[in-house]
Every structure is written in structure tokens, then in C-alpha cells.
A and B are shown apart, each in its own frame.
Chain A
């Protein structure tokens, strides 16, 4: 693999940038005709690789869109999944991924001093555009994380709607917190707690590898636990998928065999439903009204709650921690001075300047987490409203928000197989 890298890379002997060096000893005068060895340092051609990534991403998403929307077939999606796991997963080691790019984009939108590479932005926006056009084709098998879970999935035990509704809130909270930490320049939460990157890199943070392993084991028995209950990019895409221009549909002349619903890994196929439980219309309307009234209240209380907690979130920031270390060190001068404190002072930092920076960060944290709290409150409220809507369906319907275009249902649908055969 290294050899391939070297062919595609360029060898550059880079011009010196740092000329300063403390010359305690003079440059030796060699008499034996010694010649200084020449070093050239390998520089991977990032431009080339990024282009390859973007092109492949586009091609793979187009293939999925063609296979699912036009051919109504699963096999190409499966092949794309394997390619994705091998290329984006194991070969490219999964960085920068679309999921993590959320943070870069969020930071770039709020902080004008941050410079975002074009590649990162493309990786972020391309799947969104494709989702807007064709539904979640990125999730189908182009995303190496989804593809890996798809490949190991064997049995599909369905979780109850109640459990999956509760767990479905987690990615929203995750997304909100990831953006909160990104825009305050504290840390990239999504990258730090990426469960599969350790598996793709065959090494890394131990806790994360264990979490990744557990998620993989879970995905053997149930469809895509990470995509459904953790992935922050998935919820973003589900918003666009909800109103996508094209998306998979139930085969015409459905015979109501229920095989497709049974095969769906993400519970996106809804069976026909006729209201059997009798409840007075007034009670239903009443409940809905109550939820609508409480929606802003929930947002408000969430905002207040996180407004209070905002200050404690700021501990994730490097400057805040440094400030704390310095304060601790001032209180106990006997202890060994932490290296961070020593370096801070040796670089001419002053406590006042740091303190003002820290209070600025704290302020930022409090205001941003207030917004975050409001959003979380609103999302919980919206989930509740969604769950109190009663809809009658005459046929099987696909919920385009949660459908991931994996095309499994096509393989199970007897009607679809007939159509494919006759073609």
C-alpha cells in the first residue's frame, strides 16, 4: 500500500521555513571531503487523492440512485457497499468524512478566521444535494460506516417503536452538541467519538474500538444501530430526504404480502392502517393542542436548563482547562508545575490576558448552549407531536425520512421480481 502511495505522491525537498537555530557550536569544517546527506521528504499528493475521493463519492451515489430508483435492484448497492468499506474505510481510513465535516462547516459559518478546505465542503454538501434529489443514497452504501453495518447484518430483529422513538432523539442531541463544541473551537466531538474509525485504522483509542465492536455485534442482529440511533449526519439527511424530489416507492399493484416491511432494516415501510381504537376526536385534538402549546414552553425550559449548564460545558475548551490548571498551580505552589502552565508562561502569556479570553469563551458557551437547549426542547416536542398524529393508510407506504435507499425490499417483493424478470 505504501508503494502505491509513493507512486501517486510527489517527492519534494521543501524549502526551509525555519532558519533560526541556536548556534552553540559552529558548523564544522570537514577536511575529509564529507558531503552532507540530502534528504527529501515525501509529500502525499492530497489534491489528487481528494479529487479521487470526490469523484468516487459522486459515482457511487449515482450508481446507488440508478440501481434503486431506476432498476429497483439491490445487487449494485451491495457492491458499492463493499467498495466503500474497502476504499473509504480501510484504504482512506475514513478521514475527512461527511459526518465529521458537519463540524468544519459549522465552524466555517460562524468563525471567519477558520479556513475550510474545498474538499471538506464538497464531502459535506454532495451527499446533501444527492439526498435532496434522490433520497438518502449516501446512507445506502456509500458511507463506509453504514456499509460496514450493512455487510455484517444477518438477522433483523425489530425494535419496538417506543424504544426506537426514544433512541431516535439521541442523534439530534449529538448533532447539537457536536456543533456547540465545534463553533466554540473546543473539540470535534464527532471525530473524537467515532466508533468505526478505530476498526478501519486497525488501532486507536481502546474505548472507541470496543464501542465500535459492540455496535458491529449489535448490527449483526438489528439493522444499522449507528445510523439510526447515533449518526448526526443521518438526521440532517433525513430532513432533506423528507422532501426529496425522487425516492423509492412501493411496487405498483402491491399484494400486501408484508415481506418488504419485514425486510426493511430501518422500519421505513409502513403497512396499511385503519384506525381501530376508538377515541373521541375531541380527545385527540385536545392532546395535539396541548403539545402545540407546550412546544415553545419545552424549548424555553430546555434553553434555561442548558443556560445554567453552559458554564460547565466550557471545561472541554483547552484555554478554560489551562486557566484552571494555572489557578490550581497558584494555590499549591509545592506541586510540580504542569508542563502546560510552564509553557504558557514561558511563551509570555499573562493570566489577565488568558482570563479575559476564558471569560469570552465562557460567554460564548453560555449563549450557544442556551440555543442548543432550546433546540433540544423543540425536537422532543416535535417528536411528541409527530407521535400523536393519526394517519390512515390504504396501501404500504415508504417513510422517505427514514428510508436509506438500501434496496433490500426490492429483493423480497414478489411483484418486483416479476417485473425485473420480464424486462
Chain B
């Protein structure tokens, strides 16, 4: 009488163990089969051909200052004097005065190279990823300014919060060989 409940309990436990073991093995089996088919993508990155510069990268990132920064492809750049990414629309004087500039944090720097060319560089510590310059450059210039996720800042969230609000699904998981999607002339 005393042994009966124990053996019943043990029997149940054994059944449970077998079921659990089977569950672990079958889930692993399916997962391994899936993972063999193709390797998982580990990084979040913006596809510049899809990006619409809506400005949500600056506000939606889980970090206080977004991990998305503006990147400049010098080899695509036209080195224009009147730069659509650097100057606001309808500026009169092409100087570096605050009233003429587009970047809200003053992260773009302009350097005279030779007539009529100017070089533009971005200070990523100041950039907040709002994409205003990239929008300007894409609508008036060569599109050499564009947004990318800086991988050393990105926390690599399981689900990128920006990707959930991106209107054009430009932000996607990418594999290790596409960590940066650079434009290069």
C-alpha cells in the first residue's frame, strides 16, 4: 500500500522525462534542419536604396542617441558648393553661418579643396541620425549622404525597434558580409 503511490509518481515522472527529452530532441532537430538550410543573419542594417529619410531612426532607437548615423560616400559626392545636404533650402549666402545650415546638431563640416569643390565630413559623435542632410542630398544631389547603423553602437536588439516603425522596411537583418551597405562610386 505504501509503495503504490511512490511507484505511480515515479512512473509519471519517467513518462514526463521521456516526453521532455523527445521535445528537446525534436525541436533541436527542426531548428538544426532550418539552420543548415541557411545561416542566420546577425546584424541590423539600413538598405540605403530603400531608405526614405523619414527621421524615425533618430527617435525610435532604444538608445538615447540613436545608433543610426549619417555616412558620407566621398566617391559619390559631387563636392558641390551649394550642397543640398549642408545648406537649407533657399539659402542666399553660401557661408557656414547657423541660419544657413541644415544639420540640427552641426555635425557636418565643410572644407574648401579647390575651386569650385568643397569637401564635406561628418562628425559621428555629434550626428543624431535624423537624416535631414541625407534627404537633402538625395533630392538635390548625388545621394552621397545616407544613413547606416553603426555596428559598434548598435545593441543588436533581438528585434530592432526602428525596424518596426520604418515605413519602407529599409532596416533588416543582414548577414555578416553585408554588415555595412556602402555606396561607393
Contact = CB atoms under 8 A, between A and B. Distances in A.
A21 B76 contact: yes
Given A16-B182, A16-B184, A30 B143 contact: no
Interface in A201-217: 201, 203-205
B92 interface: no
A118 B180 contact: no
Interface stretch (A92-100, A154-162, A360-368): A92-100
A43 B148 CA distance: 13
B177 to A, nearest CB: 8
B183 A16 contact: yes
Contact of B152 (A42, A121, A191): A42
B35 A118 contact: yes
Contacts of B78: 24-28
A339 B64 contact: no
A119 B42 CA distance: 9
Interface residues of B, number: 70
Contacts of A347: 50, 168
Contacts of A118: 35, 39-40
A240 interface: yes
Contacts of A353: none
A243 interface: yes
Interface in B139-184: 140-144, 150-152, 155-159, 161, 164, 167-168, 173, 176-184
Contact of A24 (B62, B140, B178): B140
A32 B164 contact: no
A282 interface: no
B49 A20 contact: yes
Contacts of B39: 115, 117-118
Interface in A1-39: 2, 5-6, 9, 12, 14, 16-28, 30-32, 34, 36-37, 39
B92 to A, nearest CB: 21
Contacts of B52: 339, 343, 346
Interface string A28-69: 101110101101011110110000000000000000000000
A115 B54 CA distance: 28
B80 interface: yes
A318 interface: yes
A129 interface: yes
Interface in A333-364: 339-340, 342-344, 346-347
A132 B159 contact: no
